[in-house]
Amino acid sequence: MARIRYSVVIPAYNEEHRISATLEHVLKYLAERNLRGEIIVVDDGSTDRTADVVLWYRRKTYKVKLFRLEHQGKGSAVRHGVASAHGEIVLLCDADMNVGFEECEKLEAALLRGADIAIGSRWIGNEECLLSQPLYRRAAGRVFNFLTQRLLGLAFRDTQCGLKAFTRDAARELFAHQTIDGWGFDPELLFLARRLGFRVEEVSIRLLHDYRMSRFRPIIDGSHTFWELFQIFWRDLRGSYPRTVPAPVPAVTEQVFVADSSSREAA
């Protein structure tokens, strides 16, 4: 039996109006390229018809899978989805990504160049992506990135982009240590990647979101996410995360932001 190439993990919370277009987009991408893949939708305790929509697609194709959880947060949903993934490449994809999923080809190319993790970046040479964001999102993003750099030492420009790719081995090892249930799971993953000696590339992609239906609440979710950054910092001080030789400072190129770590060594 042919191996599964892509495992696409999609966390979803009250996405009945957007998940259908995203599933159609991803299924079309896989079919046009004749790729063997699976789409794992993790319903994070939705109170609308998100699960019913996904089940309709599940009856149409075996490629779509659904897991239903109590509402805990995006980080928890992604963690459960990755635990069920069988693909050679594990892709994280937001539920509103009804255009732009094909940008994952750039992330796969980074993995083929030797990276263990490739993260999309809307902030490297993509002014159009920035201008599409509401002003409050751009301001919050700048503050958030400043804190991730100061608290966690992460020199990435866009830790929160919804499109990320992992080799299967990297995904399994990273998510075995990932603990943050909310929106702060992204910087925690990248912090763990550095500690575990994985090579990370931040790749310029073109990805536009429809922020009119965003589930992110600026004050409530923003405050909680900032608090999660301090949780990561505190857990590290307590020795809760694995420790390896620190990675060197990342280098920047015109289109690709690369973080090369030293070879893996036992903690």
Asked whether residue 87 falls in the same domain as residue 148, the answer is: no
- DSSP reduced 3-state for 195: helix
CB 4 within 8 A of CB 37: yes
Residue 103, pLDDT score: 94
- In this structure, the answer to whether residues 65 and 126 fall within a common structural domain is no
Q: Are residues 184 and 234 in the same domain?
A: yes
Contact criterion met (CB below 8 Å) for 76 and 70 = no
Confidence of residue 264 (pLDDT cuts 50, 70, 90): very low
Q: Please determine, for residue 86, whether its predicted confidence score (pLDDT) is greater than 80.
A: yes
Residue 122 scores a pLDDT above 90: no
Give the pLDDT of residue 29. 96
Same domain, 75 and 137: no
Q: Any residues with CB less than 8 A from the CB of 193 and at least 6 apart, and which?
A: 116, 117, 170, 174, 200, 261
**15 and 109 belong to one structural domain:** no
Residues 82, 139, single domain; the answer is: no
Region 184-200: mean pLDDT is 95
Looking at the structure, tell me whether residues 85 and 131 fall in a common domain. no
Closest CA to 109 of 122, 97, 118, 100: 118
What is the span of the domain harbouring residue 75?
1-98
What residues contact 202, with CB distance under 8 A and at least 6 apart?
118, 119, 120, 121, 124, 156, 157, 158, 250, 256, 257, 258, 259
d(CA 119, CA 24): 23
Q: Is 60 exceeded by the pLDDT of residue 253? A: no
pLDDT confidence tier of residue 221, bands split at 50, 70 and 90: low
**Which of 98, 126, 152 is the endpoint of a domain?**
98
Q: What is the mean pLDDT of residues 227-231?
A: 90
- Residues 267, 232 share a domain: yes
Mean pLDDT, residues 81-109: 94
CA 221 to chain centre: 17
Residue with more model confidence, 153 or 11: 11
Q: Which of 31-45, 86-100, 154-168, 249-263 has the lowest average pLDDT?
A: 249-263
Per-residue pLDDT band for 146 (boundaries 50, 70, 90) equals confident
The stretch 200-210 carries a mean pLDDT of 81
Task: Answer yes or no: do 91 and 107 share one domain.
Answer: no
pLDDT category at 125 given cuts 50, 70, 90 is low
Instruction: Mark which of 98, 123, 142 sits at the end of a domain.
Output: 98
CB 85, CB 175: distance < 8 Å: no
Q: Quickly state the pLDDT bin for 141 (edges 50, 70, 90).
A: low
Number of domains in the chain: 2
Residues 200 and 217 in one domain: yes
Q: Give yes or no: residues 145 and 217 share one domain.
A: yes
Asked whether residue 24 falls in the same domain as residue 128, the answer is no
